[in-house]
Structure 1
Amino acid sequence: MSSSGTTTSRLLRLLSLLQTPRDWPGPVLADRLGISPRTVRRDVDRLREMGYRIHADRGSLGGYRLEAGAELPPLLLDEDQVTAVAAALQAAPLLGTQLDEAAARALGTIRRVMPPRLRRHADALTFRAVPDATRPAAPVATDVLVAVSAAVRAREVLRFDYTGDADDAARRPRRAEPHHLVATAGRWYLVAWDLDRADWRVFRADRMTPRVPTGPRFAPRDVPGGDVQRFLAARFTGSTSAATWPCRGTVVLDLPAHAVAPFAGDGVVEDLGGGRCRLTSGSWSWTALAASLGRFDADVRVDGPPELREAFARLARRYDAAGREDADR
């Protein structure tokens, strides 16, 4: 165990003893904690620096006493940890769970048992977490998260019903080896090895209904690429391996770079001067890429590749047909 971990554990034990309503002579505390009286004095000074009020009476009948002020044991947190707790609990609405109210109550409970100095530090960080309106969160029931997470931790096969499958056969209970539960952008995903398809799959937790009991234990596998974050990024772009779009192309727009850059996403904008710019961007299909590039209200010239030019031609025919069909009504 590291020295910092040993000190932290000792301070927690010291606080636990001092919570008992009595005076604790230094030698008695030293004996209980297995340390020297000098270390007891140093630890008491550390706790005082953190804001805990500890009274000391000198003399043979004196001792240390934690002053009244909290019904629950005080928290052993430093300023950075208090900031982390306050930020995490206030950011709960961004996680897409049903724990927003519980998180607010938890922050209130923790705040009440903090020493005054740390309480002021926690109160200094106050904000409102607002989910992205363009990508609404998909709330997940807490019992689902707990069940899925428990299966991941225990390395047990998970059986679950899954909504959103297209074919009837897929609506049977799914069986998968759960490896990683991931939260991103207000949604929760399970990265798992699908036993029926013998391949990696990414499941949305809000569409899962776990069944009990779980299946047998399994030996963990390495996700493709060895990193779950890169694996998910690749799947979200429609790729199977690298975290890049499978379809990337370049166009020249009759718009200045400063007008395009705010809406280019992860694309690359190059200023060509004369009110024009070059935009290189990607998507999961050529048609989707052409449609996204066509959203700019400007003339477009395709630099390449040919697949992007062909996708623009397909869209042009479809849009022309749609326009003529509307005119014939």
Structure 2
Amino acid sequence: MTTDTPARLLTLLSLLQTPREWPGGELADRLGVSRRTVRRDIDRLRELGYPVESSKGADGGYRLVAGKAMPPLVLDDEEAVAIAVGLRAGAGHALEGVDEASVRALAKLEQVLPARLRRRVATLQAATTPLTSGDGATIAPETLTAMASAVAGRERLRFAYRAGDGSASRRLTEPYRLVSTGRRWYLVAYDLGREDWRTFRVDRVSEPFPTGARFELRELPEGSAEEYLRRSLGHRQETYDFTVTFAADAEAVTAGLRGWRGAAPEPLGPGRCRLSGTTGDPVEWLAVRLALVGADFTVEGPEKLTDCVRELGGRMVRAAEG
């Protein structure tokens, strides 16, 4: 019999979070208490904001339903490990749909995981290799979670940074936001040493260390972190317009462009569509991305994309023949 009320409530909550209806008698047997105690415990959970629904009958049942707010979840060991491994796999690669919210969730989960479960998560992560597309660099999940914790806690962050030209430096920052572009993670932060705002590619960050020193959030010049990053990258990257015609329906091309953040293909008739846009991505990456759609296409411009496609195509042919 469970006499510890908080422990019994957690056990009851864990049972109710499985997708089924629990008869009152079965819950009483599982918990080693009377049905009256089960009813009182259900009322306590409702007072705490858990939407528990009851059904009438000879042996009325209980189940947890969707409510207006997200109450705390109770996870067993296997569930916690599975969620942590999934979040780490996604966070290590700047994948479409995996944004700062998922990294914050990973940071919260790993903060409360017991050491034995953290070891299991690390072992599973080391034993698996995710299949990713594009040239997004791999990032240690520990780096992202440390940075996300500093962002959420408004805590000054110190780290080592390697610039694009290979030069190394140590930075002390007030981290503002983590932003995913779909292929890479960036940190938008105020650099205390440079006394100015900066963006940092997270795959070039090492040894992130939240210092514990709190700070008042500064006002970002461009309004949002996404806008600031877009302008920052635009100053350093050449953008160009491109137009490509596919010998396929727009729906098929859209399906092949999974994760594409640009404009949708424009239908030109049965079996034909046009894709146009502006990008700062390396022309080699765009050429490979278009080829992965799985349909014949013709480059209408720019010339450097035509040249790149021709060169890559010849290289692939030679590789297949040789």
TM-score (norm 2): 0.49
TM-score (norm 1): 0.48
Bigger Rg over Cα: 1
Tell me which protein shows more strand as a share of its residues: 2
